[in-house]
Structure 1
């Protein structure tokens, strides 16, 4: 996948770009692939895997451009991606983020058109599972971190991804912090890419479920308005138990369900760190992002948002 991703970066047109590759402690010869496929890239090699959040943040900090893109190695951008994303970077009030359009690997459905977020702290891939020409998906809360654009000014004000998250929900957390500081998010539907998804940890794997469950709770405690936290945490606990008990039990499935509960337990063990961050985040807030959030969800809303993922879980990507 890395080679294909690099080829796509090398084929960008219309925009002069600087490419930084963060090698996250790989042992599979990735550095040689970078030198062979994209020799003009700056390679930052880490001696261990520090997680997507910390590695991507390092790349964002080392960049020198006023707008900086994050691209995961399982995301393959079209030649005009950079140009289209930048075209949306100056639309709206105080733009600090741009969401792009990620398609599934067959280009048959949308994987994500940015992030949606509701008052319960539940994030989802906007328009996930819809046809590629579907555009009416409600407000864009922030970009999906697999293929996103961030302004240097916003990053200087808010910071980058929270490295403690390791992976998953770090893009939701960053978008929420940016919204609290009054930064807006544009949407570039012409900036298209193909996204494999969960290529590193595995789709619906125990590791993925653990990280998502833990990091969602941490994000709520860091960013959510205090009045909304009790209801959000009650719903999160109920959904976690329902996820663990509702479907037929299979060995892999059971492991993922138990991992989701374990992730929530891990979140509570580390919540004191997030409460310390919360004081700083809430103390410097300039805006109420709830105008960009969907209402508290119904069961029907949850089914519409996540029902298309059943195809992936059954192995039908």
Structure 2
């Protein structure tokens, strides 16, 4: 069995492979790099065959999305650790060693992420993951370095090593045994929020999720689906609802569910008023499909012996929009605890 394998999921990303794969290969040695192709319609496969004939490429017959795309591929890879890496990520020279050393030192760590900075604005954090992921008491996700659309500059404030609630799928280190103990990613989600769901389930099984600021990567973001895709909007709103439904304790579910619907309807109205009619429709469709799909999941059981850590014990949208708390450091740190 191998120690570490770097696994890159690709879909029509030849231009990204051309740009970023050379650095990944150079900086990942002695560990193997594997490409998982989600039935790309560009010349990705031909490019790999010509330029990287030694790199294994696992090809799916159709676009399986993020969740199933990784699950199906990882079943074929025997390794102690997986590093899941988006195709649009620029890695640095020492990105693997600090996290691997951390996970080797603590067997309860099932997932970990590096510092994720913006490729096009390298002095700033990137939207998807930034300085590590958290949730508020209603399950709304946010990051150190990014609250809603407010992005912080990297000034070394998150160069620490600490426990977090969720690690970003853009660059995610996984302990393979823990990953498969939980059944991998939830394939119903297809793409978006699947890493939050996985990390939530890890904590329900008494594993830990960590952030390591001594490792850093640069992420473009939205390179595959596009920043303004209505389908992306649909998946984000639908999957957030499903992840909260399946994981929130029953004692919190009813009123958090009602508040979530209200906030999502407000988001749909706001999109409509801004002329983004397709996004508005996508949000409404997400609500309808949530009600159709929710019966496929069992509700989480209130277990007093299980404590979910790194939860912000307030409602983040209220603090951000009504109280003007725009940075992680402005939040009441004493309210980030377990429940």
Alignment check: 8 A CA contact 2:272 2:280 kept: no
Q: How far apart, in 1, do the equivalents of 2:325 and 2:58 lie?
A: 37
Q: Which of 213, 218, 233 is residue 242 of structure 2 equivalent to?
A: 218
Q: Which of 276, 287, 308 is residue 264 of structure 1 equivalent to?
A: 287
Alignment check: 8 A CA contact 1:179 1:287 kept: no
Alignment check: 8 A CA contact 1:213 1:260 kept: yes
RMSD of aligned Cα (Å): 2.6
Provide structure 1 residue ranges, at least 5 long, that are not aligned to the other structure.
309-317
Aligned residue number for residue 19 of structure 1: 33
Q: Which of 24, 30, 38 is residue 9 of structure 1 equivalent to?
A: 24
Q: How far apart, in 2, do the equivalents of 1:171 and 1:16 lie?
A: 27
Higher helix share: 1
- SS of 1:79 mapped into structure 2: coil
Q: How far apart, in 2, do the equivalents of 1:215 and 1:306 lie?
A: 25
- The aligned runs of 1:152-301 (5 Å cut-off) are 152-246=176-270, 249-251=273-275, 253-275=276-298, 278=299, 282=301, 288-301=306-319
Aligned residue number for residue 52 of structure 1: 66
Q: CA deviation at 1:155?
A: 1.1
Q: CA deviation at 1:300?
A: 4.6
Higher strand share: 2
- SS of 1:49 mapped into structure 2: coil
Q: CA deviation at 1:247?
A: 5.8
Q: CA deviation at 1:228?
A: 1.0
Taking structure 1 as the reference length, the TM-score comes to: 0.86
Aligned residue number for residue 311 of structure 1: none
- The aligned runs of 1:100-119 (5 Å cut-off) are 100-105=114-119, 106-111=121-126, 112-119=130-137
Aligned residue number for residue 84 of structure 2: 70
Pick closer, same or farther for the CA change 1:57–1:140 going to 2, 3 Å: same
The alignment covers a number of residue pairs equal to: 301
Please state if 1:150 is matched with 2:165.
no
- SS of 1:154 mapped into structure 2: helix
